[in-house]
Amino acid sequence: MHLSYYFIRQISQYLAETICDWQLGTAFSQEKDELILGFHLGEREFFIRAQLTPQWASLSFPTHYAKAKANAVELFEALHGRRLLRVEQFHNERAFCLHFEQDYSLLFKLFGNRSNLVAYQGGQVIELFHKKMEEDHHLELDSLHRPIEHSAQAFIASGGNIQAFFPAFDRFVMRYIELQGWLQLPLSEQWQKLLTLHEQLLHPGAYYIGTWKNKPLLSLVEHSELQVRHVTTSPIEAANELHRLYVHEVVFLQEKQQYTKQLEQQLKRCENTLQKSKERLQALRNARFEELGHLIMAHLHAIEPGSEEVEVFDFYKEAPLRIKLNPQLSPQQNAERFYRKAKNQKIEEQKLLQTIETKENEWLRLQTLLQSLDECHDFKSLRRWAKQHGFAGQSKADESLPFKRFEYKGFQIWVGKNAKSNDLLTQRFAHKNDLWLHAKDVAGSHVVIKRSGQKQIPRDVIEKAASLAAYYSKRKTDSLCPVIVTEKKYVRKPKGLAPGQVIVDKEEVIMVAPAPFE
């Protein structure tokens, strides 16, 4: 009910009694969808905080407010320094207006997700808080009054249409009426009950703050379904308690759930990598590349050139064995091919063992983090946890940037987002001596390590960037991925190549496990 006509009327009455003849000293925003208005009379101060997000709109009244030296945007500057003459509450509407000297006005339009603040001079709109709500440019103040004639005869004639005669009764009040059993009464008795309720809402004896259907709510009547947390006789205290409840229970839970989701996603990726690495390791250990090479060399005399397969006696298992061959290669070359695979197999096994050890440690770390996060029960402990574990200040990557940015051991690693972004990164943002990486022979992101004046880039930084190049490619699910590493000066893009395509003149290839930045 904090956005109902009845409660807004209480707020506007309080403001009329409290800050008329005060001056508006400042109006600024330093948080998205939040506006702070600061009034003063001599050394006395009064603040109004308007929080107007699509999910939540409310007014609250902090006793003091520290304005940041940076990131604060001044708004409604035409009203600064002007004296407040009167406060106008619009009849049966969720809006009121502050009227200042020299015919300036500031409208508080509290219409749920369409809430806004609108400044006027001489009845003409001069500024909007939410500029995207362009229809508010045509909003006339006089049109906001909604006079309603309360008539028992008209109510009965309408068949008991409550919303037509009491449009300010919101869903919560209608539920209250239902619980009272009034809807089963004769219409004449209903009318008397509704009038009594209307008067009670106009002159509430107390304000009840709590939760209804797991959401913060302010009520002007005792309601059996409201889980009450606080009761007060002050509308300002009620507004502040509701704001506190919203911030510390709704916003807190949302932020905690966001961190939980991030950790659970990392845990799932870690478990997937562990499973695939163990499966790949078992498959490699079952492979017999070196033995197959030995068997081919032992039976060279029996293999015809151009053969696609050969049957030999497997003296390791003492049984016949068919070996598939590459008909384009000689028998000796086929043996060499298996020896190369055996060599690569040993390298891959070592990499897989390292990956398994790393991911098992990572799994334990993530489980510990989830447990410690679960023990955070308020904003203070949550913010301390976030700062301690490197989550503080995290936000989604700025979508206006043409690429993702990461920092690892003091080095900037930039990753293209798509084909167009890859071209921008490589052709415009990469210096000729920066390192350039890309998963070999598959589509994927261009990755650049900014050299930043450093002659040498540590091997672990290169491997970290290479794991990102592998992760942001078509090989992201492979246990190991070959990645090209070269200086940007060896990467060129002749005319006619498709977006994201380049030619690499000189390269080194390293094998890494695909992994996101963690």
Return the domain boundaries, the chain.
Answer: 5-144, 152-233, 251-388, 403-512
**Measured in whole angstroms, how far is the alpha carbon of residue 496 from the centre of its chain?**
39
**Topology classification of domain 5-144:** ibrinogen binding protein from staphylococcus aureus fold (2.30.310)
HSE of 322, CA atoms in CB hemisphere, 13 A: 4
Strand partners, 88: 97
Residues sharing a CB contact under 8 Å with residue 226, sequence separation 6 or more, in sequence order: 208, 210, 211, 212, 217, 219
Strands 411-416 and 435-439: unpaired
- 99 SS3 class: strand
Sign of CA dihedral 170, 175, 178, 180: negative
Query: What pLDDT tens digit does each residue of the chain (518 aa) get?
Result: 788 999 999 999 999 999 999 999 999 998 888 999 999 999 899 999 999 988 889 999 998 887 776 678 899 999 999 999 999 999 999 999 999 999 999 999 999 889 999 999 998 999 999 999 999 999 999 899 988 888 899 999 999 999 989 988 989 999 999 999 999 999 999 999 999 999 999 999 999 999 888 888 999 999 999 999 999 999 999 999 999 888 877 778 888 888 898 899 889 988 998 998 898 888 888 888 888 889 989 988 888 889 999 998 888 888 999 989 999 999 999 999 888 888 888 888 888 888 889 889 989 999 999 999 999 887 788 888 888 887 765 444 444 567 898 888 878 899 999 999 999 999 988 999 999 999 999 999 999 999 876 778 999 999 999 999 999 999 998 888 999 999 999 999 998 899 999 999 999 999 999 998 87
Is residue 147 within 8 A of residue 92, CB to CB? The reply is yes
Read off the amino acid at residue 425. Answer: L
Tally the residues of the chain. 518
* Nearest C-alpha neighbor of 359 from the set 262, 444, 491, 267: 267
Read off the amino acid at residue 49. Answer: R
**Cα dihedral 314→317→322→325 (10° resolution):** -70
- The whole-number pLDDT of residue 401 equals 63
* Nearest C-alpha neighbor of 327 from the set 314, 337, 315: 337
CATH number of 251-388: 1.10.287
Q: Provide long-range contacts, Cβ within 8 A and 24+ apart, for 258-264.
A: 259/373, 259/382, 259/385, 259/386, 259/391, 260/370, 260/373, 262/391, 263/366, 263/369, 263/370, 263/373, 264/370
Is residue 442 within 8 A of residue 474, CB to CB? The reply is yes
d(CA 115, CA 143) in angstroms, rounded, equals 16
CA distances from 331 to 295, 300, 340 (A): 11, 6, 14
Is residue 488 within 8 A of residue 430, CB to CB? The reply is yes
d(CA 219, CA 221) in angstroms, rounded, equals 5
d(CA 428, CA 422) in angstroms, rounded, equals 10
d(CA 127, CA 117) in angstroms, rounded, equals 9
Is residue 360 within 8 A of residue 274, CB to CB? The reply is yes
Residue reference for tokens 């009167």: 86
Q: How many Å is the Cα radius of gyration of the chain?
A: 35
Sign of CA dihedral 458, 462, 463, 467: positive
- The whole-number pLDDT of residue 395 equals 44
- The whole-number pLDDT of residue 262 equals 85
d(CA 436, CA 456) in angstroms, rounded, equals 14
d(CA 44, CA 371) in angstroms, rounded, equals 47
Exposure string of 206-230, with b = 16+ CB inside 10 Å and e = fewer, is ebbbbbbeeebbbbbbebeebeeeb
Q: Provide long-range contacts, Cβ within 8 A and 24+ apart, for 146-153.
A: 146/90, 146/91, 146/92, 146/93, 147/91, 147/92, 148/91, 148/92, 150/195, 150/198, 152/188, 152/191
* Nearest C-alpha neighbor of 483 from the set 507, 461, 503: 507
Is residue 312 within 8 A of residue 298, CB to CB? The reply is yes
- The whole-number pLDDT of residue 396 equals 43
Q: Provide long-range contacts, Cβ within 8 A and 24+ apart, for 419-423.
A: 419/498, 419/499, 419/500, 420/499, 420/500, 421/445, 422/446, 422/499, 422/500, 423/493, 423/499, 423/500
- The whole-number pLDDT of residue 302 equals 85
Q: Which helix (H) or strand (E) holds 320?
A: strand 319-324
**Measured in whole angstroms, how far is the alpha carbon of residue 459 from the centre of its chain?**
33
